[in-house]
Structure 1
Amino acid sequence: MAEPRIAGFDRQRIALPDVTLSVQMAGRGPALVLLHGYPQNGMCWSLVAPEFIASHRVIIPDLRGYGLSDAPADDARHHRYSKRRMAQDIVDLLDVLDVDQAMVLGHDRGARVAYRLALDHPARVGRLGIIEIAPTADYWANWGAELAMAAYHWTFLAQPHPLPERMIGADPQAYVDWTLQSWTKAKSLAVFPADSLASYRRQATDPARIHAMCADYRAGATTDRADDEADRAAGRKITAPLRFLYGHHGFPARSGDPAAIWRSWATSVTATACDSGHFVMEEAPEAVLESFVPFFA
């Protein structure tokens, strides 16, 4: 695979105890980790990440299974792509980089890794930014006709191997293009920078990454949901200050009152909605910067 990079960033592969991640880094100051979602990779931050490097050491990994990171095969219980396992990858990465505590901003699947990181390793997260999700257990609990039609991929990708892998593999670029454009407000691929779009398309042609992305959602339907339900039953809450941003035309807007849902999960929450579809960093980068530059400062 080619190695696309965000302007001003260097990319390197960093070996961790369980996986090797491809990581882009730039800047100095307090550490800020940016975590991408599906069907994207770290390139989704290309319109906003350069604005953070003036005040932060910005760390942008491709999550396991995505981009240029390792894509190990799933296990029978879907632990290998659980958000708990992915959050441990980020802890391991911070250890290698000698970072005791970081601010963390996540979108989509990366936001699920981010809040799991804050729950499992509270001392490692100073501030938490969440873009365009509600917690996994709440999504499943609020599943109704409108959300099911919009987020059909939750059940499709979670079907047993190899059904979704074969269907996506028959025409991976068409599937990725459909997914990307259908989740934007404008129903258009024009919002995605060319290098980023090329990287999303390219990773979807790799059978190992198609499998990893499905495994990510199989974990979401099983292990991740169970982990959320166990935390809620135990009364655990996110203690880091949490800032939540979502689009008027995205997924959380279809799940009731998403800000209220987050307030049930965290001790300190501020929330804002913006005029965007699901891919807020590329559709409305100015809204991301307005929300999170002051928050992380």
Structure 2
Amino acid sequence: MTWVKIAPKLAEDFHVIIPDLRGYGESDIPKSDPDNRAYSKREMALDIIGLMDALDLPRAHILGHDRGARVTYRLALDHPERVDRLGIIEIVPTGDFWASWDPDLAMKGYHWTFLAQPAPLPERMISTDGPGYMDWTLASWTFAGDLSPFTAEALASYRRQAADPARIAAMCDDYRAGATFDRALDEADRAAGLKITAPLHFVWAKGGFPARTGDPLGIWQNWAEDVTGTEVSGCGHFAMEEVPDAVLAAIRPHFID
């Protein structure tokens, strides 16, 4: 649902495929494992590769936001031969985000530690009012501090998922993977000097999470060989819903070029 305001415009130039990540939306909910690999971005990237194979797509432009952006850059690192151009919206790599924490970022991004706690603690706490928790979280990450950027259909979908114990567990398992498997993988790749080879355009919000790391564009320049970037204003974390025209203006030329 997060792409609803820009997907039709992108579809004027491209075949647009928008899959739900495992555990989210209408996707399957695989069982987790002790190593947190099942919800790692490496496994989710393999889901996207499987989808590309099923559609007979040897290569594609890949664009991602938030959790999907973590899958996007992991796919580009693990499967560079399948990526033409890369778009990343509103994240820095997982390992770098953890390393950037200070008191302000810890307060804003508290969900990274909360959702990653061992099961079933966060699941039980969220399940007392899952839709309420989702509304509060979504609103707190917008520039306006309310739910006005979201369509009624998007909010209904988010609330429905937040009322489903299995989806709540999958969401927590995603963050558990981020705190363990994904972070360790990033640190190993950085130590090995592995870099993304596909041209990468990074879009971040002046009032979003990456901006709090100090130099988000510089972080990506350490991870990829060819990096450009656009900072957008007047929005928080949900740039595509809050300032869709600005996001389109930043991303579309990168993929058209």
TM-score normalised according to structure 2 size: 0.98
Q: Does the residue aligned with 1:195 lie in a helix, a strand or coil?
A: helix
Equivalents in 2 of 1:143, 1:190: separation in Å?
Answer: 29
Match of 1:290 among 220, 236, 249: 249
Shift of 1:287: 1.1
Shift of 1:115: 0.1
Equivalents in 2 of 1:294, 1:267: separation in Å?
Answer: 19
Equivalents in 2 of 1:253, 1:154: separation in Å?
Answer: 17
Give the corresponding residue for 1:252.
210
Please give the per-residue CA displacement for 1:129-176, whole angstroms capped at 9, x wherever unaligned.
000001000011111101100000000000000000000101001100
Please give the per-residue CA displacement for 1:28-64, whole angstroms capped at 9, x wherever unaligned.
xxxxxxxxxxxxxxx1100000001111110000100
The 5 A counterparts of 1:161-176 are: 161-176=119-134
Give the corresponding residue for 1:102.
60
Shift of 1:190: 0.9
The 5 A counterparts of 1:176-215 are: 176-215=134-173
Please give the per-residue CA displacement for 1:250-283, whole angstroms capped at 9, x wherever unaligned.
0001011000000000000011111110000000
Matched-pair contact (CA < 8 Å) for 1:103–1:126: yes
Matched-pair contact (CA < 8 Å) for 1:73–1:211: no
Q: Which amino acid aligns with 1:144?
A: D
Q: Does the residue aligned with 2:16 lie in a helix, a strand or coil?
A: strand
Equivalents in 2 of 1:187, 1:100: separation in Å?
Answer: 41
The 5 A counterparts of 1:35-74 are: 43-74=1-32
Shift of 1:73: 2.1
Equivalents in 2 of 1:199, 1:213: separation in Å?
Answer: 14
Match of 1:133 among 63, 87, 91: 91
Q: Does the residue aligned with 1:57 lie in a helix, a strand or coil?
A: coil
Q: Does the residue aligned with 2:87 lie in a helix, a strand or coil?
A: strand
Q: Which structure 1 segments of 5+ residues have no match?
A: 1-42
Q: Which amino acid aligns with 1:256?
A: G
Asked if 1:239 is matched to 2:203, the reply is no
Q: Does the residue aligned with 1:186 lie in a helix, a strand or coil?
A: coil
Q: Does the residue aligned with 2:62 lie in a helix, a strand or coil?
A: strand
Q: Which amino acid aligns with 2:247?
A: V
Q: Does the residue aligned with 1:166 lie in a helix, a strand or coil?
A: helix
Equivalents in 1 of 2:239, 2:11: separation in Å?
Answer: 19
RCO (CA 8 Å, sep 6+): is it higher in 1 or 2?
2
Equivalents in 2 of 1:255, 1:66: separation in Å?
Answer: 27
Equivalents in 2 of 1:293, 1:109: separation in Å?
Answer: 21
Equivalents in 2 of 1:273, 1:137: separation in Å?
Answer: 22
RMSD: 0.6
Asked if 1:121 is matched to 2:79, the reply is yes
Asked if 1:144 is matched to 2:98, the reply is no
Give the corresponding residue for 1:277.
236
Percent identity between the two aligned chains: 64
Please give the per-residue CA displacement for 1:52-82, whole angstroms capped at 9, x wherever unaligned.
1111110000100000000122111100000
Match of 2:51 among 88, 93, 107: 93
Equivalents in 1 of 2:25, 2:59: separation in Å?
Answer: 25
TM-score normalised according to structure 1 size: 0.85
Please give the per-residue CA displacement for 1:96-145, whole angstroms capped at 9, x wherever unaligned.
01000010110001000000000000011100000000100001111110
Greater percentage in strand: 1
Q: Does the residue aligned with 2:145 lie in a helix, a strand or coil?
A: coil
